[in-house]
Amino acid sequence: MRALSALLFSTLLATALAAVPHKSYAQPPATQPTDAEAELRAQQRNHYNEARIALERRQLQRYREHLDQLGDYPLRPYLEYTELTRRLGRLPKNDISAFLEAYPNSLLAERLHQQWLRTLGEKQQWADYLYFWNDSISNTDLNCYHLEARHREGDGQALAQAAPLWLVGHSQPDACDGLFSLWLESDQFTPELAWERHRLALEARNGSLAGYINRLMPESWQAQAALLRDVDRQPELLRQQVRFAAQTPQMQDIILHGLHRLAVRDAKTALTLWRRYDAQQLFDDQRRLALQQEIAARLLRQGEQDAVESLLAEVPQLNSETLIERLLRDQLRQQDWSAVTRLIAQLPEEAQASHRWRYWQARAHENLDHSLTEGAASARSIYAELANTRSFYGFMAADILGIEYRLIDRPVQAHPGVVRSLELHPAIRRARELYIVGEITDANREWFHALGQMNTQAILAAGRLAEQWGWHRKSIHAMIQARSWDDLQLRFPLAYQEQVTQAAADTAINPYFLYAIARQESAFMPDARSPAGALGLMQLMPSTARYTARRAGIPYHNQHDLLSPDRNIQLGSRYLNQLLEEFDGNRILAAAAYNAGPTRVRRWLRESSQPLPYDVWIETIPFQETRGYVQNVLTFSVIYGYRMGESLPLVTLKEASNPL
């Protein structure tokens, strides 16, 4: 089936939506194929598979025979795309144009378009390159080819736009070599530009590139470039202040670069030297502030909180949210509520108004003014405001006030006709079929590409459609993309309920806690793979899975077992149970250990100078990812309790009453 244009699809969808009265609708199941349709689709899948095999073997006649049997099969464009890409070198311009016209705005058309431009650039077909060019392309090597094509075809302004592509701290693709050769020989290239890239290369820790750029500079610039490289290697040279007394832009670059490097090793010394050089040089305000922020951040990492606070008092503009929050968490660990109040007041206004810091403002009021009516009233007012929200801090505030959680649940209003029309959208059909035949990566790409061209109402309908298909990760993503936070059925699906219920019974873990972990880990994507190598619904590392399987007496053959929802939930629940046993049933510590590892959690507990209330301990977890993870898992547990008809507390009485 040939693709509808994005404009046509949006028009049809808008027309359908305009006819929808404002009422709720029962959500029908996705359209079920008739027996005849199912048989036809099975035949098409067989022809598709045979055509793909024939194409891989370069049996083109056999490939075309099966291709002709596909009709409107959604994945037909994938075969045509593959066949075309194999003969790009023969410059099949008419066939390329026909494909781009047949499947406009599609993922494959965009992919083929870029490959075609790359081929034209490599073959220096500059006129054709400009004919097929699209200004929406942001790819570096294609942009280099584009400027070279413009120059070769007589555009005298093209080289003037090359500097931003050249001024980076890393090597650019080979496709840029032709453009840069022309640019370096033109009057557009200056010693100042060479100096700037030399500096950027050193900042990026790319010494070989810096050495190459040094050779492009006039000899009169190379002595200062050598000094910059010396300071890069030995920033302590800045102690020799007389050596760096020249009042030039290049010397300022050298000083600032050296102080940045020195701050990494010794922020207190960097601060001392900065004050001397700041009195000597006229630094740009923006670069001055950037260095001060870097020094302040390094001071914090090196445990110099007093020096940071002194610097903040000296330079109020340093009140960045990240910096103040790090100081705040240090004071929360000390439970210095006066300092907490003072630092919250230094946060940017938007941060002060966040649920997080409103909650801690109330906690500070409570602890400072617990015996005073005014302080208690102020705290209760903030808690009441927060308790109206469905959030971690809202739930904690509700617990303090002793009131029920506000679990706002407003299902998405998706008209059945709109959902039906989405089922016919070419990209959605391709995504669905790819998912069915097991091409999950391409299915994800098609889905995301399609949603990127839709309006909010269409995205919401797509989320409902994905939920009907059992494609839970996509329904969750659709709600996020549409910023629709209140459909708890779509955002928190009861996926793999049989497996979760069985795992809860086998381990005595609360099923809502298992759901919360799986929702946070993978959003129920069974083939999820993390950069670190964790796999599946509950994101288990293969080594952890092997150990857990051996300990629990569960068969485990290799890491592919973890892509099975049954086995992944079985092993993930056993591992979570081990963590709960290790941490005396405390879900806060078990969740932190599931994310960051039990060794780190044990170390964090040992390093605490005093036992901390559970909310302080969570807020001061050293890893931002783990902090958010624990907060989400506890919050999601409450929501999953609601979804299954049970009212659960955010934390148990035991978890709340035992300091960590």
pLDDT at 323: 85
The full length of the chain comes to 660
b/e for 230-265, b at 16 or more Cβ within 10 A? Answer: ebbeebebbeeeeebeeeeebbbbbbbbbbbbbbee
Report the C-alpha dihedral over residues 150, 156, 158, 159, rounded to 10 degrees.
130
Structural tokens at position 72 = 């409107």
Which tops the pLDDT comparison, 182 or 374? 182
Write out pLDDT tens, residues 92-114.
999 999 999 999 999 999 999 99
Write out pLDDT tens, residues 181-223.
999 999 999 999 999 999 999 999 999 999 999 999 999 999 9
pLDDT at 17: 33
The Cα–Cα gap between 634 and 589 comes to 11
pLDDT at 638: 97
Residue 656 main-chain phi, psi, to 5 deg: -75, -30
Write out pLDDT tens, residues 11-66.
333 333 333 333 333 344 455 678 788 889 999 999 999 999 999 999 999 999 99
Residue 375 main-chain phi, psi, to 5 deg: -65, -45
- List CB contacts of 269: < 8 A, sequence separation 6 or more: 262
Q: How far is CA 120 from CA 113, 126, 128, 349, in A?
A: 11, 7, 7, 52
pLDDT at 22: 31
Q: What percent of the chain has pLDDT over 90?
A: 75
Distance of CA 547 to the CA centre of its chain: 30
* Helices and strands, counts by H and E, the chain: 38, 0
The Cα–Cα gap between 564 and 560 comes to 7
Q: Name the helix (H) or strand (E) containing 479.
A: helix 472-481
Torsion sign over Cα 184, 187, 189, 192 = positive
Is residue 521 part of the annotated active site? The answer reads yes
Amino acid at 289: L
Other residues' Cβ atoms within 10 Å of the Cβ of residue 498 = 10
In this structure, whether the domain defined by 497-657 belongs to CATH 3.30.420.40 is answered with no
Q: Is the pLDDT of residue 316 over 70?
A: yes
Angle between helices 321-334 and 285-301 (to 10 degrees): 30
Active-site residue among 521, 582, 619, 655?
521
Q: Average pLDDT for residues 548-576, to the nearest whole number? A: 92
Write out pLDDT tens, residues 382-424.
999 999 999 999 999 999 999 999 999 998 887 778 888 888 8
- List CB contacts of 70: < 8 A, sequence separation 6 or more: 44, 47, 48, 51, 76, 79
Q: How far is CA 443 from CA 51, 226, 438, 446, in A?
A: 19, 52, 9, 5
Write out pLDDT tens, residues 591-639.
999 999 999 999 999 988 889 999 999 999 999 999 999 999 999 999 9
- List CB contacts of 53: < 8 A, sequence separation 6 or more: none
Q: Average pLDDT for residues 454-464, to the nearest whole number? A: 89
Q: Is the pLDDT of residue 1 over 60?
A: no
pLDDT at 370: 57
Structural tokens at position 287 = 């670069």
The Cα–Cα gap between 564 and 520 comes to 18
**Are the C-beta atoms of 201 and 210 separated by less than 8 Å?**
yes
Q: Average pLDDT for residues 132-161, to the nearest whole number? A: 95
Q: Average pLDDT for residues 313-336, to the nearest whole number? A: 86
The Cα–Cα gap between 183 and 566 comes to 59
- Region of 58 (left: φ > 0; alpha: ψ -120 to 50; beta: rest) is left
Q: Is the pLDDT of residue 231 over 80?
A: yes
Q: Is the pLDDT of residue 238 over 50?
A: yes
* CATH class of the domain at 6-179: mainly alpha
Angle (nearest 5°) at CA 227 between 221 and 232 = 125
Nearest of 57, 62, 60 to residue 47 by alpha carbon: 62
Per-residue DSSP letters for 409-439?
-------HHHHHHHHT-HHHHHHHHHHHTT-
Nearest of 242, 201, 259 to residue 225 by alpha carbon: 201
Question: Can you give the residue ranges of every domain in the chain?
Answer: 6-179, 234-318, 497-657
**Are the C-beta atoms of 551 and 570 separated by less than 8 Å?**
no
- List CB contacts of 18: < 8 A, sequence separation 6 or more: none
pLDDT at 312: 83
Write out pLDDT tens, residues 356-367.
999 999 999 988
Q: Average pLDDT for residues 274-292, to the nearest whole number? A: 91
pLDDT at 376: 61
Amino acid at 409: D
**Are the C-beta atoms of 59 and 86 separated by less than 8 Å?**
no
